[in-house]
A and B are shown apart, each in its own frame.
Chain A
Amino acid sequence: MSVLPAQGRCAFASLHPAVSFAFFAGVLLLCMVLAHPLLQIEAFCLAALCYVSFRGRAAWRFVGGLAVLLAVVALVSPLFNAQGETVLFRWWAGRPYTLEALALGASTGLMLAAMMLWFASYHLVMTSDAFTFLFARALPGLSTVLVMVLRLVPTYRRRIEKLAMARAGIGQGPSEGATLAARVRSAGTVLSALSADALEGAIVTADSMVARGYGLPGRTHFALFRWERRDSVVLMVMAGLLTAAVVALVLGDTAVRYFPAIVVPPVGADVLVGAFCYGAFLLLPTAINLGGRLAWRCSLSSM
């Protein structure tokens, strides 16, 4: 699932899953709540930086794509939202295209793009191994089901390809020029063969599970991940920055109003401190990744 290029670049991914999960949970929550343009721009830039620190050059295409998405969301939003008093121009049947709606669109687009970037990084770090490890203890039954489903999806996909190819090899596949009905019938045959096959396989899997003692009381969970001192340190730093950011931003005024006119509250010292802590928090994975690379370089040069 994970496509991390090299372990060296991704020191953050080698942290304990609980730490990385806590980070992403915090980030996504704050991203959704904080609507101040300063904080949003900050979040988007740092999200892009974080993703780049994971993927390297391969990340730029995705970041570029999101910039386009951002622009589209911003530009399109006034078409559906005619509120606001600063009319830039009028279009179809005299509908106003307003600056306020444009600004709101940009804000929405920024949030969307930032969230997508964070999710992309999340996806790289939280592999299925990490995820099931985290939830195995809380939901033992569910985590086994999850692990089995994760295994069955690729199995069935491969199986369908195999069945379809086998049928094509005897001229029973959907040939070119076949009618829709024939195609549907052919797909139906493949699916029914797959379900018979799946049931048969399920019996073997069940046998294999019982033979290996599934269902005995007192099941434990193998932990692929170990809690290191580093994890405690990162977790504490994270908690500290997060608390500071939340306290400062709650004290300061970050509520932006767009309609009828844009009102951005003046940026006071508290908001500045909050933004700084927030930024430092968001910068953590990037810093850890860069630190990891630096550590590698130093250790290499000292050899």
Chain B
Amino acid sequence: MALFAFEHVTFRYPGAARAALCGVDLAVEPGQFVLMCGPSGCGKTTLLRHFKPTLAPHGAREGRILFEGEPLEEVPVREQVARVGFVMQDPDAQLVTDSVWHELAFVLESLGCDQRTMRLRVAEMASYFGIQHWFHRSVDTLSGGQKQLLNLASVMVARPEVLVLDEPTAQLDPLAASDFLAAVHKINRELGTTVIMSEHRLEEAYALADRVVVMDAGRIVIDGAPRVVAEELFRSESPIKAALPVPVRVCATVEGSRAAASASQATASASPKGNGQADAFASETPAAVGRLPLTVREGRAWLAAEVAAHPPTRRALPDDGAADAPPAPMAVELEDVWLRYERDGADVLKGTTLAVPEGSLFAVVGGNGTGKSTMLRALCGIARSYRGKITVLGHRLRDWKRTDLFHGGVALLPQDPQSLMAKKTVRDDLEEMLAHRGLSADQRAAALAEVVTAAEIEPLLNAHPFDLSGGELQRAALAKVLLSKPRLLLLDEPTKGLDAAFKERLASILRQLAARGATVLMVSHDVEFCASYADACALFFDGGIVATDDPRPFFASNSFYTTAASRMSRGLFDNAITAEDVVSLCLS
């Protein structure tokens, strides 16, 4: 008997035009790790919330949800609390109490456990998740990753049989996200807890799951083992395929085009039956499905076999050095900049030196807490350096008047785009930027129309900023920032919480800006994004820039801090840093 069974569940929010869930049939077996994916707004969250009746949204529902064969609504609340754990997206708002130990004990207190049981369970959980070192800390001293791990632990302490996670890593940086996923995987593998998780960042989660469910417009469109689903996504040209792990993408693309090539050969030479291509693809599929690599390790093995079977004509991409480019004037120059926030505090920037040419898309990568964000703050004068020289757009920073600097000069898009939105609608927020500038109504409308088109947010103008998805919010905030017509745009983690499709749109917007002569300086953890789109990359470590180079030599020379494609093709290909690079070399 399935642990959870959804039978023809249809759900409609009050007053909504279309149903959020349409005839969903889903049976989850005990011990499964189910990964839910789909474009934002496809109904993942709505479906996940139905696993827990106390969280289920209000609206009209048809169909049955069974928990161990019994209708879920009839399971007593106490039992639901203990047996189904739910972790949400926001690491901060989910915490209820002020200290770590209390948070861990919260659910046990609710369930009315006695002192001995609570002590044991809390101790057990803290030890299992490695929380004992910060057991007595106050929650506001924790990092985002620690907070989310605490949220997970404080749900697991009730020993649930089912763990439901709704985009748990959306607000974490990649390192914290992979730690979190490792913890979830450990729970699934070592305790046999059933896991149902929605994610839009599939790179890591995909290989951990043993079942993938793809949703679109409230329906389950594909449901199966990861390799089968990946194959299906490529066959149906789904937009989600861009979010799949690099090895899957490389293998599926290469095998797909080989199959297409051999099929067209077959049609051209042998029979003019017309359905030759489909036949060829179908006959290729079982072999491909079995071999589809999900991890870098499998990817390397596949690539080695592939290179041996079909030796490519080229093994290296040219090292596109920019030696011939004329030296552009610098938009930003930092020379030995030192900065600390408190008089007796530690230095955050320690002699940072950096030069960013005008009109470039410059990426600074590096770990957490190394001072990347502080560097951006120093560049727009929010944080003051105490030594060194900062030149922005041709003038020393201290010679700029504040009003001039932020009007047509510099703009900073913070890590959390929400913090830029302060009004009731996106339109009000955008208009705030144009007020008190002495512009005529026509000029304001024109300026507004320009950024709205650039950021593609026309349909969102009348929405409340809180109702936007991560990607929409990011674009709305970007539009707001662009209204000051910055010549230097500073971005702090612009891809945090964005899915693959949104990342591509963001990149094209940034490209357009750079093409018009603006300089974009972003700090990011997202090496894949930087490798694909940046003009130059720099590695930030311990308060300073360690190395600067074009993305290709930069990532090709790193072997740990680099892209999955580079790690996968190391030793086989040279200078291949994106999935497209590897594919093009394979097919050469």
Binding site for B on A (CB under 8 A): 1, 128-129, 132, 147-148, 150-151, 154-155, 158, 162-163, 165-172, 175-176, 189-190, 192-193, 196-197, 200-202, 204-205, 207-224
B110 contact from A154, A155, A219, Cβ within 8 A? A219
Complex CA–CA separation, A168 to B378 (angstroms): 12
Contact size class for B? Answer: 35 or more
Which residues of B (368-414) have their CB < 8 Å from a CB of A?
377, 380, 382, 402-403, 405-407, 411-414
Shortest distance between the CB of B509 and any CB in chain A (Å) = 17
CB-CB under 8 A from A202, the residues of chain B are 93
Q: Which of B25-33, B101-109, B184-192, B348-356 contacts A (4 or more CB under 8 A)?
A: B101-109
| Chain B positions 108 through 144: 1 when the CB is less than 8 Å from some CB of chain A, otherwise 0 | 1111111100110010000000000000101110000
Interface centre among A154, A170, A208 (most CB of B within 10 A): A170
Q: Which of B8-16, B84-92, B193-201, B315-323 contacts A (4 or more CB under 8 A)?
A: B84-92
CB-CB under 8 A from A132, the residues of chain B are 102
Residue of A nearest to B106 (CB): A212
B95 CB within 8 Å of chain A: yes
CB-CB under 8 A from A190, the residues of chain B are 422
> Given A170-B433, A220-B114, does the pair A205, B96 have CB atoms closer than 8 Å?
yes
Complex CA–CA separation, A213 to B77 (angstroms): 8
Contact indicator A151/B94 (Cβ below 8 Å) = no
CB-CB under 8 A from B113, the residues of chain A are 220
Residue of B nearest to A192 (CB): B422
Shortest distance between the CB of B318 and any CB in chain A (Å) = 39
Contact indicator A169/B382 (Cβ below 8 Å) = yes
Complex CA–CA separation, A148 to B481 (angstroms): 35
CB-CB under 8 A from A200, the residues of chain B are 93, 466
Complex CA–CA separation, A151 to B407 (angstroms): 38
B273 CB within 8 Å of chain A: no
Shortest distance between the CB of A153 and any CB in chain B (Å) = 9
Which residues of B (228-284) have their CB < 8 Å from a CB of A?
none
Complex CA–CA separation, A105 to B98 (angstroms): 42
Binding site for A on B (CB under 8 A): 52, 54-55, 77-78, 81-82, 85-86, 88, 90, 92-99, 101-102, 105-115, 118-119, 122, 136, 138-140, 151, 154-155, 158, 377, 380, 382, 402-403, 405-407, 411-414, 416, 418-423, 432-433, 466, 480-481, 484, 490
Complex CA–CA separation, A144 to B432 (angstroms): 39
A204 contact from B90, B419, B423, Cβ within 8 A? B90
B403 contact from A169, A171, A208, Cβ within 8 A? A171
Complex CA–CA separation, A44 to B423 (angstroms): 55
A214 contact from B90, B110, B115, B416, Cβ within 8 A? B110
A216 contact from B90, B112, B433, B466, Cβ within 8 A? B112
Shortest distance between the CB of B365 and any CB in chain A (Å) = 21
Contact indicator A169/B90 (Cβ below 8 Å) = no
A222 contact from B101, B155, B421, Cβ within 8 A? B101
Contact indicator B140/A151 (Cβ below 8 Å) = yes
Contact indicator A196/B466 (Cβ below 8 Å) = yes
Residue of A nearest to B405 (CB): A171
Complex CA–CA separation, A249 to B138 (angstroms): 44
Complex CA–CA separation, A197 to B464 (angstroms): 12
> Given A150-B98, A170-B412, does the pair A216, B484 have CB atoms closer than 8 Å?
no
A-B contact pairs, 16 of them (CB 8 A): A128-B99, A129-B136, A132-B102, A150-B98, A151-B139, A170-B480, A171-B403, A193-B419, A193-B422, A200-B93, A205-B96, A209-B96, A210-B54, A211-B81, A212-B107, A216-B111
Complex CA–CA separation, A240 to B111 (angstroms): 41
Residue of B nearest to A151 (CB): B98
CB-CB under 8 A from B421, the residues of chain A are 193
Complex CA–CA separation, A169 to B415 (angstroms): 12
CB-CB under 8 A from A213, the residues of chain B are 77-78, 81-82, 107, 110-111, 158
Complex CA–CA separation, A156 to B363 (angstroms): 32
> Given A167-B420, A204-B93, A222-B105, does the pair A129, B99 have CB atoms closer than 8 Å?
yes
A169 contact from B52, B114, B414, B418, Cβ within 8 A? B414
Shortest distance between the CB of B132 and any CB in chain A (Å) = 14
Contact indicator B94/A204 (Cβ below 8 Å) = yes
> Given A162-B416, A213-B107, A222-B109, does the pair A207, B140 have CB atoms closer than 8 Å?
no
A207 contact from B55, B411, B466, B490, Cβ within 8 A? B55
Contact indicator A171/B110 (Cβ below 8 Å) = no
Contact indicator B78/A211 (Cβ below 8 Å) = no
CB-CB under 8 A from A162, the residues of chain B are 414, 416, 419
Contact indicator B420/A212 (Cβ below 8 Å) = no
> Given A171-B403, A212-B155, A213-B78, does the pair A223, B416 have CB atoms closer than 8 Å?
no
Contact indicator A170/B481 (Cβ below 8 Å) = yes
A211 contact from B54, B105, B406, Cβ within 8 A? B54
Contact indicator B77/A216 (Cβ below 8 Å) = yes
> Given A175-B403, A192-B422, A220-B112, does the pair A165, B414 have CB atoms closer than 8 Å?
yes
Complex CA–CA separation, A260 to B449 (angstroms): 84
Contact indicator A211/B96 (Cβ below 8 Å) = no
Contact indicator A171/B382 (Cβ below 8 Å) = no
CB-CB under 8 A from B407, the residues of chain A are 171
Residue of A nearest to B107 (CB): A212
CB-CB under 8 A from A196, the residues of chain B are 466
Complex CA–CA separation, A196 to B464 (angstroms): 11
Complex CA–CA separation, A289 to B86 (angstroms): 45
CB-CB under 8 A from A172, the residues of chain B are 406, 432-433
CB-CB under 8 A from B422, the residues of chain A are 163, 167, 189-190, 192-193
CB-CB under 8 A from B82, the residues of chain A are 213
Complex CA–CA separation, A223 to B114 (angstroms): 10
Contact indicator A163/B481 (Cβ below 8 Å) = no
Shortest distance between the CB of B443 and any CB in chain A (Å) = 18
> Given A170-B484, A171-B484, A220-B114, does the pair A208, B93 have CB atoms closer than 8 Å?
yes
Contact indicator B412/A169 (Cβ below 8 Å) = yes
Contact indicator A148/B96 (Cβ below 8 Å) = yes
Shortest distance between the CB of A271 and any CB in chain B (Å) = 44
